[in-house]
Structure 1
Amino acid sequence: MTAPLVAVAHGSRDPRSAATIHALMDVVRAMRPDLDVRVAFLDLSAPRVGDVLSAVHGDGHDSAVVVPLLLGRAFHARVDVPAAVADAERRYPRFRVHVADVLGPDPRLDEAAWRRLAEAGASANDPELGVLLAGAGSSHAPANRLVADVAARWQSRTSWAGAVATFAAAAEPDVPAAIEALRARGARRIAVASWFLAPGLLPDRIIELARKHATNPLLAAPMADDEGVADLILNRYAEAQASPDLSVAL
């Protein structure tokens, strides 16, 4: 019996977030109609990870693959996901959960965010455009550096005045500082690319600040139900099944 894929997202008080995650997983199901795909959340949305793993076990499966829908290895990946798996360990000693790697870094994420930015009207050949690549922000510096690295790669392949990372919380630069830095490089127009999978409170904060500090900024949608992201999720699922080092016996 093929192990179900349990996609684990952050969760949010904003109902658009959960709806977007479910839409993304519908794309995954369309790519793999033979696969049992389930959605779970770490916090603020239902169903929670423990409840979904209990349901998988209750349906007679002896294993599952948890795929964290996280863009980097920050707190949720290093603490919350392992804790949820460890909690299930105490309940089902013969059940086996394989924990996949987080989604980022991966070129498919870069490409998904780029596609959304292009859909918003940004051109790679606009020397007066300054681009913010907006992420959530983390106290874990490598997670922030991942976003900055993507912005640097974009800068190297365009004629933009500049491309910089900016963060909604917990990291610098914030949106006003990032816009000021781009204007110092000669940017006359501002675009905001989204390093988010789904809409929610943090993306809304980025948008509000961008509109406050720039005139008519181009605003890209989150990566959402991009087929490249769905393909990446399935790739992480396959890697976890093939790599015993990523497994946690429950």
Structure 2
Amino acid sequence: MTETPYQRAAAESAASALLLLAHGSLDPRAQESTRALAQAVRLSQACRVEVAYLRHVRPRARQVLSTFAEAGHDRVVVVPLLLTSAFHARVDLPRALSDPPALAPVVTPVLGGSPGAPDKRLVAALRRRLTELNAAFDAVVVAAAGSSDVEACSSVTAMASALGADLGLPCLAGFASTASPTPGEAVAQLRLAGAHRVAVASYCFAPGRLFRQAADSSTAAGAVGISEPLGDAPELVELVLERFHQACDTKAGAGSAF
């Protein structure tokens, strides 16, 4: 019997393993959030899904890749849980995946996309988390970690513009570290411009030190609330799965996407 394209794709996916590679945090809630995302992806896709971290906690990528190799997976896809192509994507990620134990993994682009084209699913996920605040607001700050990389900051600014357009409300970017304005300063700017109830959208995957800094900064400036990180939002699961399937469509040994 001739194998259909659907059957072939399903078999390739089943033979592949997926590694969600997160930044990592000493906050145990961050690991819980990452594991929740992995479980949501696992339930939507018949393949092995594991998590690893770049910093602070274990397991690290090489450890999980060794486990995949020992289990006989013939293809490994790594989806970096990063929202910008800043230092962690340019330096930490290649370092973590250098000298893989067996078959070189296929590494997808970071989930944040390019500065000029914010992914609509991330916009929808941010909006979903804002609605969970159950609070009225007339302006929004998109709070991100921050970076000295101009392009990375530009991608956050582009995301703020996209979310503002989607909501039909004024929206500014704020950065918890390195870049400016801070989330609190962005809240203050919007209030000075006439906004009365400013909400903050957390543009991060999981809780951690910078999430707390953004929350403290914006609360002190009078924000009505800060949304939870993206976590296992359905739109994020969909985006991860798209990256996975795109990588599975590449030829074995095609290399990484750094």
Q: Please confirm whether the aligned pair reaches a TM-score higher than 0.5, indicating the same fold.
A: yes
SS at match of 2:241: helix
Aligned to 1:138: 147
Aligned to 2:98: 86
The answer to whether structure 1 residue 223 and structure 2 residue 230 are counterparts is: yes
SS at match of 2:105: strand
Unmatched segments (≥5 aa) in structure 2: 1-13, 114-118
CA root-mean-square deviation: 1.9
Aligned to 2:9: none
The answer to whether structure 1 residue 200 and structure 2 residue 208 are counterparts is: yes
Shift of 1:198: 0.8
Distance, in Å, in 2 between the alignment partners of 1:156 and 1:122 is 19
Aligned to 2:69: 57
Aligned to 1:212: 220
Once the two structures are superposed, residues 89-145 of structure 1 have per-residue CA deviations (whole angstroms, 9 ceiling, x without a partner) of xx43xx23111111112211111011101111355xx6xx22111001111111211
Aligned to 1:12: 25
From 33, 40, 56, the equivalent of 1:27 is 40
Distance, in Å, in 2 between the alignment partners of 1:188 and 1:241 is 48
Aligned to 2:86: 74
* Residues 241 and 208 (structure 1), Cα distance of their counterparts in 2 relative to 1, 3 Å cut: same
Aligned AA (1:62): D
Once the two structures are superposed, residues 29-88 of structure 1 have per-residue CA deviations (whole angstroms, 9 ceiling, x without a partner) of 1111x2111111111111111110111111222331111111121111112221222232
Once the two structures are superposed, residues 181-238 of structure 1 have per-residue CA deviations (whole angstroms, 9 ceiling, x without a partner) of 1022101122111101111111111111122121x62221111111110111111111
Distance, in Å, in 1 between the alignment partners of 2:20 and 2:217 is 31
Segment drifting more, 151-160 vs 3-12? 151-160
* Residues 50 and 234 (structure 1), Cα distance of their counterparts in 2 relative to 1, 3 Å cut: same
Aligned to 2:245: 238
Distance, in Å, in 1 between the alignment partners of 2:140 and 2:19 is 34
TM-score by length of 2: 0.86
Distance, in Å, in 2 between the alignment partners of 1:38 and 1:153 is 31
Distance, in Å, in 2 between the alignment partners of 1:154 and 1:103 is 16
Percent identity, please. Answer: 37
* Residues 169 and 180 (structure 1), Cα distance of their counterparts in 2 relative to 1, 3 Å cut: same
Distance, in Å, in 1 between the alignment partners of 2:135 and 2:234 is 21
Aligned to 1:37: 49
Shift of 1:157: 4.1
Aligned to 2:16: 3
Shift of 1:163: 1.0
Shift of 1:149: 1.1
Distance, in Å, in 2 between the alignment partners of 1:96 and 1:225 is 27
Q: What is the aligned residue count?
A: 238
Q: Is the 8 A contact 2:23 2:54 kept in 1?
A: yes
Q: Is the 8 A contact 1:14 1:201 kept in 2?
A: yes
* Residues 158 and 42 (structure 1), Cα distance of their counterparts in 2 relative to 1, 3 Å cut: closer
